[in-house]
Amino acid sequence: MTIPMWMLLGFATWTLLLLMATVGVYRWVAILFSSVPIASFRSDQLEGEDWYRRGTRAHANCVENLPVFGVIVFVISALDINGSAVNYLSTLVLIARVGQSLVHVSHEQTNTFVAVRFTFFCVQLVCFLALIGIAVGYGA
């Protein structure tokens, strides 16, 4: 397996771990220890403690960006593009994703923390665009 494939697998794994550690823990503790009905968690309204809402949003951010990274890795793999730049950019995507999620979940979102979180997001966007540029350049 290539480094980009490993990073994509890491991204997917992180998405699941984040779901289980935030949304899953909150809901299962409420269901098992507080007699909250399992059907009481609605997706169309905000509820719960602040960290739980941040965890839900951080997981949604992962889900929104996972397919984008997946398509990029698919194209890179289909074109058999290798090299240190591709490996570095793919690794940086995962590092920035984990950083963004951790900042989102672990702290109240002050202007400073939102700026840090946004910086991690921008790093991912730049890496995505650079990887797309490499793929387009190779395929042309």
CA–CA distance, 76 with 85 (Å, rounded to integer): 12
- What pLDDT digit, counting tens, does each position of 8-25 carry? 999 999 999 999 998 888
Of residues 39 and 3, more confidence is placed in: 3
State residue 36's pLDDT score.
Answer: 79
Residue with tokens 């570095």: 88
State residue 53's pLDDT score.
Answer: 86
- Alpha-helical regions (H) of the chain: 3-19, 25-33, 50-78, 84-106, 111-139
Tokens of 131: 């990887």
Domain of residue 20, residue span:
3-40+49-139
**CATH number for the domain that contains residue 99:** 1.20.120.550
Q: Which residues contact 21 (CB under 8 A, 6 or more apart)?
A: 55
Q: Which residues contact 40 (CB under 8 A, 6 or more apart)?
A: none
- What pLDDT digit, counting tens, does each position of 75-129 carry? 999 999 999 999 999 999 999 999 999 999 998 889 999 999 999 999 999 999 9
Tokens of 11: 């991204």
Q: Sign of torsion, CA 11 16 17 23?
A: positive
* Domain tally, the chain: 1
- What pLDDT digit, counting tens, does each position of 27-77 carry? 888 888 887 787 777 777 677 788 888 998 999 999 999 999 999 999 999
